[in-house]
Chains A and B, each alone.
Chain A
Amino acid sequence: MAELVDTSVPKLAAGCRWGGTVEAPVVLFPEGAIRVEGTGRIILELCDGHFSLAEIVQKLEAQFMLAPKGKIRADVLTFLEQLHAKRIVDY
């Protein structure tokens, strides 16, 4: 599995894209979809090919200032690695 590092630029994999409605967005992928809400949605919206992992973490830290140091990065890593294994996110 490709390693996810600070300079990696995560983005939706080929053939995966946003769908659903504005109120209830989903990420569509072959044979299924994930309903994304809360932080998951915020993270995936940043996976548009413009931001590195470090930048994504930085943005989230700015938004969730009360979260313990290091926790946001660890959570983002786990989340993106899981989606990478499902071939929904590439980096």
Chain B
Amino acid sequence: MTQCSNPLALIAEITHRCPLHCVYCSNPLELTSRREELTTADWLRVFGEAAALGVLHLHLTGGEPLARPDLAELIEGARKSRLYTNLITSGIGLSRERLVQLVEAGLDHIQLSFQDSTEGHANWIAGARAHKHKLELAGWIRSHNIAFTVNLVVHRQNIEHLEEMIAALEALHPGRMEIAHAQYYGWALRNRAALLPTRAQLDRAVAVVAAAEERLRGKVRIDMVVPDYHARFPKACMGGWGRQLLLIDPAGRALPCHAAGVIPGLRFDNVREHTIDWIWQNSAAFQKFRGEEWMPEPCRSCDRRKEDFGGCRCQAFLLTGDASATDPVCELAPLHHLIEDAVRKDSVNEDAASDDALSNDAVSEDRATGSAPEAHNAPFHVLQEKMAGFWSYRIDPK
């Protein structure tokens, strides 16, 4: 058995219920129903066990976690177990009174997701009339002494509006902005042809973010997650399989990451039957790709294996059919052409060609230069260096 360190963060998907229908949703295509969800007592026990094992952060997510009426109780229990509590929410259905209740229960951090800067477009992306309420909610959040992050999911349908979106979010005075490009799993993979930005769009987006970072230094911390399809090397997905994080789904199954359910043959142990400690040490699913034993060449002898831990197993499976294959994002991967093909085929900005001069430029520029990874890769490294001295739970693509 491969030796393991303690997990640092627990992602608790407390429900799959959600009023939104985002086309980039990373939840599995088959969702857990309400009657299968863990009870309050189950979750509180899980939080205690996780904290005892060394977990510091709890990320309450879904679905929409507000759909759980016991959310305040869960937060209070997590704080009693000394966990740092983060609520990841669309904010839909969150009243001023309920926010007070959550803060009083001990909420440390709220992460509010936005879809676009203009209400019409935002509603088109999220499929619900959600945006106006969030603007009001941001004011309520700031009146409390908790950390406030706004999260934008970026993809080809909104990437040309990034500058406006950042400006609109800046007006909400968050402490942190997370600009997360959609990652291609679940619904996002199914919709990839409509979502994957072009290389030129991505490069412009990176420049826009760098400028915002400079302007907002000391006011807003900006973290960016780039789409790995345009990177040379894979992301250190989840900080390595079974190495820093564990995720519990609404029904209590313990997974090494959001998407692990897609990998055939993995059996996920349930917190209804086992402790978190037992699962972390013994669950076959966590051991499957932990460490380096499973690695094929070229990973096995590659110096980068200690940085990216072999990339993403789910992506390897989804794109190659083999969960042990080298992540095809890697330019050294035998099947790297799958990514090159996807970028060539899917990341074409046809939707904006007629109505947006900037987007037209993007198409022609992209076609003229093709992909020139060497020259374009500097921004990824800059992003990575900024994380020096810190460790982050989030995927941090190079």
Instruction: Give residues in A with beta carbon < 8 Å to B.
Output: 1-2, 13-17, 19-20, 26, 28-34, 84-87
* In contact, A85 and B218 (Cβ under 8 angstroms): yes
Task: Name the A residues within 8 Å of B146 (CB-CB).
Answer: 14-15
Interface pair B82/A30, CB less than 8 Å apart: no
Q: Which residues of B contact A2 (CB under 8 A)?
A: 218
A13, A20, A30, A84 pick with most chain B CB within 10 angstroms:
A30
B218: contacting residue among A15, A17, A84, CB under 8 A: A84
Query: Which residues of B have CB within 8 Å of A14?
Result: 144-148, 175
* B394 touches A (CB below 8 Å): yes
In the complex, which residues of chain B have a beta carbon less than 8 angstroms from the beta carbon of A30?
86, 108-109, 111, 147, 149, 175-176
Q: Is the CB of B56 within 8 A of A33?
A: yes
Bound CA–CA A28/B145 (angstroms):
15
In the assembled complex, the Cα of A1 lies from the Cα of B393 at a distance in Å of 27
Given contacts A15-B109, A85-B218, contact A29 B147 (CB under 8 A): yes
Q: Is the CB of B391 within 8 A of A15?
A: no
Q: B interface, how many residues as a size bin?
A: 20 to 34
Residue of A nearest to B392 (CB): A32
Question: What are 15 inter-chain pairs, A to B, with CB distance below 8 A?
Answer: A1-B218, A1-B219, A14-B144, A14-B175, A15-B109, A19-B84, A28-B56, A30-B108, A30-B175, A32-B390, A32-B391, A33-B56, A34-B390, A85-B221, A87-B220
Query: Chain A residues with Cβ under 8 A from B148's Cβ?
Result: 14-15
The interface residues of chain B lying within 8 Å CB-to-CB of A16 are 147
- What residues of A have a CB within 8 angstroms of the CB of B176 in the complex? 30, 87
Q: Which residue of A lies closest to B110 (CB)?
A: A15
Interface set, chain B 105-125, CB cutoff 8 A to A = 108-109, 111
The total of Cβ contacts below 8 Å across the A-B interface reads 68
- Residues from chain B with a CB closer than 8 A to the CB of A87 are 175-176, 220-221
B345 interfacial by beta-carbon distance below 8 Å: no
1/0 contact trace for B138-158 toward A, CB 8 Å? Answer: 000000111111000000000
B199 contacts A by Cβ under 8 Å: no
Q: Which of A17, A26, A34, A84 contacts B108 (CB 8 A)?
A: A17
User: Which residue of chain A has its CB nearest to the CB of B111?
Assistant: A30
Q: Which residues of A lie under 8 Å from residue B56 when comparing CB positions?
A: 19-20, 26, 28, 33
Q: CA–CA, A18 to B221, complex, Å?
A: 20
Further 9 A-B residue pairs, CB within 8 A, beyond A14-B175, A28-B57, A87-B176 = A1-B218, A17-B84, A19-B56, A19-B84, A28-B56, A29-B147, A30-B108, A32-B393, A33-B8
Known A-B contacts A31-B392, A32-B391, A32-B393; the reply to A85 vs B175 at CB < 8 A is no
The reply to whether the CB of B35 lies closer than 8 angstroms to some CB of chain A is no
**Alpha-carbon gap, A55 to B95, bound state (A):** 42
In the complex, residue of chain B having the shortest beta-carbon distance to the beta carbon of A13: B175
Q: Complex: how many Å from CA A34 to CA B223?
A: 17
CA distance A27 to B110 in the complex (A): 18
In angstroms, Cα B111 to Cα A62, docked, is: 42
Contact partner, A31, options B218, B389, B393, Cβ 8 Å: B393
Contacts of B109 in A (CB 8 A): 15, 30
Choose among B8, B217, B392 the residue that contacts A1 (Cβ–Cβ < 8 A): B217
User: Shortest CB–CB separation between residue B100 and chain A, in angstroms?
Assistant: 16
Give the CA-CA distance A22 to B389 in the complex, in Å.
Answer: 21
Cα distance A29–B146 in the bound complex, in angstroms: 10
Q: Which of B8, B176, B218, B392 has the most CB of A within 10 A?
A: B218
